[in-house]
Amino acid sequence: MIYDVVIAGAGVIGSMIARELTKYELTVCVLEKENDVSCGASKANSGIIHGGFDPEPDTLKAKLNVEGVEKLFDAAKQLNVSIIRNGSFVCAFSEDEEEHIKALYERGIKNGVKGMEILNGEQARKIEPNLSKNITLVLSVSTAGIICPYELTIAAIGNAMDNGAVLKTNFEINKIRIIKDLFSVYSNDGDNVKAKYFINCAGTYSDKIAGLIGDNSFEIICRAGEYMLLDKCEGGLISHTVFQVPSKEGKGILVTPTVDGNLLVGPTASLVETPDNKETTALGLEKVRNLAGRSVENINFRNVITSFAGVRSSEKNGDFIIEESKAGNNFFNVAAIDSPGLSSCVAIAEYTVSLLRRKGMCLVSNKNWNGNREDPHKFKKLSDDEKNKFISKNSDYGKIICRCENITEGEIRAAIKRNPPAKDLDGVKRRTRSGMGRCQGGFCGPAVMRIISEEMGIPMSEITKKGNKSKMISGRL
C-alpha cells in the first residue's frame, strides 16, 4: 500500500508527529531501526519540562518550548502518562553567576515564560533544605515539570497505533528512491514502504537519512550525556529540579526527582564520534557525582541503582531544524532536536503538521480519533477492592513478578499485547517498570523471559535484551 506519510524514527518526536497525524484521515507508517521504540535520545535524557527561559529569543526553540509546555501537560493527561509540575531551580554560586541568573530571568520574560521568581539562597533552602549552603541566588520557575520520556514516547506511538498508524521496527533505512512524487523507502533487509510525504525524525541519524535524498544541508553533532539513577530511598531529597548556572564547562549537572520517585543526576556533555557511543565512562560518572554534590547535599551515591548514557543531537546553529528539505519536495526534516525537545514535542508535532498543511496536504478530521490511552500502571493505583475484582477476572494480576516495583504477571502480559508491543526484556522494563528497581531484574529476569516466550510463542533461546543479537541465553544445557 501507499501511505500518506512515512516517519523515520520512533523517538518522542516521530511518535508525537505520528499521533498528531492520526487526528486526520491519513495513513501513517513509522519506521524504527531498533527492536523497540524510544531507543535513542528519548530513552536516556533528563525527563525535564523546561520553563523556556533558556533558548535565545526568536528561535524555534524559544517559541516551541514556551508554547509546548502546556500542550505537553494536556497530552500527557490524555495519554495517562505521569507528569509532575515540580518546578525548577537554577542556582548561582557566585556574583558572576548571579548576573547570569538575572540575564536568564530577563530572557525568560522576553520568551513569555510565566511563573518565574528570583529567590536568595536562604529562601530557596527553606523550600529545599538539602540545597547547598554555597548557593547564593536561585531562579525559580514554577511552570517547569518532570515526565518519563520513554513512557511518553511509548504512550504517544501506542495511541497513534490505536488510531491506525503502523509501526515497523527493525527497519533500518538504507535507501530512499523518489519515484515522481512518491518516496520508496528500503530497509537493510530489503523491506519496502512507499509514501507521499516523508518526515525525517531520525534523531542522531537524521543527517544521514537526509543524505539519502542528497540533502547535505546540515550535520548532526552528537553529545553524550551520562547519568546516574538512584534508589527511591533518595528520591525525597529534593522536590524541585535543581540546575546549576551554565558555565564554561557546559550546561551543568542537574539533580531531579523522577516521576517514579527515584533521584536522577546528570548529564555530562561530551562530544562523541558516532550516535552509537552510548557508553558510560569512569571519568564521566565521577564528574556527575562531584558536580551533583555541588548543588545538593547529602546524596548517598551508595544508592545508585544504574548508570546510563544518552546521545543527543544538535546542529551548529543551535536551533531546531523543522522545515521542508531543499533537496526533496514533501521531504521534511525535523532534526537537531536537543533540549528543550522533550518540552516542545507536542508543539513540534503541531508545527510540523502545520507545515504539511501549508504544503497543501489535505487534512480531514478523523472522526474516530481517540486521544486517550489507558494507564499501563492502572492496576497499581487501584484500591484493594478494585484490585480484587481485577484479580478475580484474571489471576495473573495476583502474581507479583517484580518484587522491587511490585509488578504483576498480568501487567507484563498486557505490555506484550498492547500497542506498541514489548518484544524484549528492555521493552517490558520500560513499559511496566519490571526490572527497573533496585535489583535491576536479578529476580524477575528469568520469569519475564518465560512470559515473553509464552506470549510471543518463541523459544527462550530467542529472547533478547534489546533485539538483534542481544540474546539472553546461549542454549540448553
Partner 1 sequence: MINHDIVVVGGGPAGMAAAIAAYDNGVRDVVILDREKNLGGILQQCIHNGFGLHKFGEELTGPEYANIYSKKVAERGIEVYNETTVTDISKEKIITATNSNGILKIKAKAVILAMGCRERSRGALNIAGTRPAGIYSAGTAQKLINCEGYSVGERVVILGSGDIGLIMARRMTLEGAKVEAVCELMSYSGGLTRNIVQCLNDFNIPLYLSTTVVEIHGEERLEGVTVAKVDSKNQILEDTKRYIPCDTLLLSVGLIPENELTRSIGIELNNITNGAEVNQNRQSNIDGVFACGNVLHVHDLVDYVSDESEIAGKSAAKYVNGQLSGGKEIDVKAENGIRYVLPQKINLENTEDIALLMRVDKPYDRVQITVKAGEVILANVKRIRAVPGEMEKIIIKKEGLVNICDSITVGLEEI
Partner 2 sequence: MERNITCIICPRGCPLICEIKCGKVYVWGNTCPKGEQYGKDECLSPMRSVTSVLRISNRDDTMVSVKTSVPVSKYRIFDVMQKIRFGEVAAPVKIGDVLIKDVFGADIIATKEIN
470 binds, among partner 1, partner 2, none (CB under 5 to 8 A by kind): partner 1
| Residue list 300-329, contact with partner 1 (CB under 8 A) | 302, 304-308
Nearer to partner 1, 130 or 440 (CB): 440
For strand 263-266 and strand 192-200, is the pairing parallel, antiparallel, or unpaired? Answer: unpaired
Cell of 194: 512507499
Nearer to partner 2, 59 or 453 (CB): 453
Is 468 a binder of partner 1 (CB under 8 A)? yes
Interface region with partner 1, contact rule CB under 8 A, candidates 62-70, 121-129, 155-163, 276-284: 276-284
Report d(CA 267, CA 272) in Å as an integer.
14
Q: Is 460 in the site for partner 2 (CB under 8 A)?
A: yes
Q: How many CB atoms lie within 10 A of CB 259?
A: 19
Work out whether the CA dihedral 268, 301, 245, 52 comes out positive or negative: positive
Neighbours of 113 (CB within 10 A): 23
User: Which stretch, 89-97, 186-194, 297-305, 359-367, contacts partner 1 (CB under 8 A)?
Assistant: 297-305
Shortest distance (Å) from residue 70 CB to partner 2: 51
Binding string to partner 2 for residues 432 to 451, with x set by CB under 8 A, is what?
------------------x-
Answer with the entry of partner 2, partner 1, none that 64 interacts with (C-beta below 5 to 8 A by kind): none
Give the three-class secondary structure for 310: strand
Which residue number, 125 or 387, has a Cβ lying nearer to partner 1?
Answer: 387
Taking the alpha carbons of 190, 41, 309, 208 in that order, is the dihedral positive or negative? positive
Contact status: 168 vs partner 1 (CB under 8 A) = no
Q: Is 50 designated active site?
A: yes
Sign of CA dihedral 347, 334, 192, 310: negative
Whether omega for the bond prior to residue 420 falls within 30 degrees of 0, making it cis, is yes
238: its cell numbers: 529534593
Tell me: does residue 403 bind partner 1 (CB under 8 A).
yes
User: Strand, helix or coil at 52?
Assistant: coil
Cell of 285: 560518572
* Interaction residues for partner 1, span 100-119 (CB under 8 A): none
Burial of 290 (0-12, 13-18, 19+ CB in 10 A): exposed
Q: Which of 50, 100, 240, 377 is catalytic?
A: 50
- Shortest gap between Cβ of 444 and partner 2 (angstroms)? 17
Q: In the bound complex, what is the minimum distance in angstroms from residue 285's beta carbon to partner 1?
A: 5
The stretch near partner 1 (CB under 8 A) out of 189-197, 325-333, 350-358, 441-449 is 441-449
Q: Is 318 left (phi over 0), alpha (psi -120 to 50) or beta?
A: left
**Size, binding site for partner 2 by CB under 8 A:** 3
Q: What angle do CA 51, 116, 232 make, to 5 degrees?
A: 60
State which of residues 278, 373, 377, 433 lies at the interface with partner 1 (CB under 8 A): 278
Read off the C-alpha cell for 151. 513512557
62-87 as b/e, with b when 16 or more CB fall inside 10 Å?
bbbbbbbbebbbebbeebbbebeebb
Q: Does 384 bind partner 1 (CB under 8 A)?
A: yes
- CB of residue 34 to partner 1, shortest distance in Å: 11
Binding site for partner 2 (CB under 8 A): 450, 460, 477
What residues are labeled active site? 50
Binding site for partner 1 (CB under 8 A): 228-229, 233, 276, 278-282, 284-285, 302, 304-308, 384, 387-388, 391-392, 395-396, 398-400, 403-404, 406, 408, 438-443, 445-446, 450, 460-461, 464-477
